[in-house]
Amino acid sequence: MSIKTTVLRHRKENFKKCSLTPLEHRSEIDFYTAPGVEYNATGYIILSVSAPLLSAEDRGPLLLLDATWRLLPQLEACVTGDPVYRSLPKEIMTAYPRVSSDDSDPSNGLASVEALFMARLIMGDRDESLLNGYHWKESFLSGLPGQYQV
C-alpha cells in the first residue's frame, strides 16, 4: 500500500541539498512549489511538531511541508481547508548533520525524507526505498527505536 503524498516545497529550498529530490520521479508523490499557490489540504495529514501523535489509525493522504524551519510559516500560510495535524514520536532522531545559524530547528526535527519515511511507516507503509537516495539512510535506520526496526 503506497500512501499518496503531496510535497509543498518552499521555492528557496536548495534542490541540490533537498533530501526529497531523489523522489521526484515517484508516481505516488506530487511536488508543488510555494509560496505562490494555495493548497486545499482538507482530508490531508500534515506533520507538525506540536500536534497529537500520528498513529496507525490515521488515514488519508500526507501533505509534507518542505522548508527550513525559519521559512516554514510561509508554507503554512499557503495551506487552506481543514487538514489533520499530527506529530511523529519525539524519540525519532535525525541522522542529518544539521547546522542552524539561528537556532530555529526544534530538537526533534527530522530531514524531510526521514519524516516522510516515518509517517508512512507508522501508517502501515514501510517503504525503505524512500530512503535510497539519502546519504544518511543506514545511520537513520540503525538509530530508530526498537519498535521501528525490521
Q: What's the confidence (pLDDT) of residue 7?
A: 94
Other Cβ atoms less than 10 A from the Cβ of 150: the count is 6
Residue 14 pLDDT exceeds 60: yes
The pTM (predicted TM-score) of the whole model is 0.88
Terminal CA-CA length for the chain: 17
CA angle at 85 for the pair 141 and 44, rounded to the nearest 5° = 90
Residue 102 pLDDT exceeds 60: no
- For residues 20 and 112, the answer to whether their CB atoms sit within 8 Å is yes
| Phi, psi dihedrals of residue 137, rounded to the nearest 5° | -55, -55
Total count of residues recorded for the chain: 150
